[in-house]
Amino acid sequence: MPKLPSINTYNLSAQVSQFANESLITYLIGIPIIFGILLLIYGIFKFVFAGSCKPDKDDAKRLLWVSIIIIIAAILAYAIYVWIYSAASSTSLPNAVE
């Protein structure tokens, strides 16, 4: 991550937008997707190796659904982020902060 200069009133909005563009989206979207994929893999293995034990298969199905919901929520959050960011970058507003 690039080193940011000291914060003052002139460069505060630029620093906030740079952090939101580079780092924040990685943490808010990437980590839940990785966690959901790991849960999905664990749920598949748990379901396959559960054998004939019904409670274990039910737990594995529940785990699979939770992982799918986490992945879908992260993808939707990324879509909302892209939608808002593209709308904000294509909208020209008067520069109120001078």
**pLDDT tens over the chain, length 98 residues:** 566 555 555 555 565 566 556 667 777 788 899 999 999 999 999 888 887 888 888 998 999 999 999 999 999 988 887 787 776 666 655 555 54
> What's residue 11's pLDDT?
57
Q: Residue 98 domain-assigned?
A: no
The answer to whether position 26 is within a domain reads no
Residue-level pLDDT at 9: 55
In a domain, 29, yes or no: no
**Domain membership flag for residue 51:** yes
Q: Is the pTM of this model over 0.75?
A: no
56 Cβ contact list (under 8 Å, min separation 6): 46, 50
Give the pLDDT of residue 73: 93
Whether 71 is in a domain gets the answer yes
Residue pair 81/25 in contact (Cβ under 8 Å)? The answer is: yes
* DSSP state for residue 98 in the 8-state scheme: -
* 83 vs 76: CA distance, rounded Å: 10
The parent domain of residue 79 ranges over 40-88
Q: What is the pLDDT at residue 97?
A: 56
Total count of domains within the chain: 1
pLDDT the model gives residue 38: 94
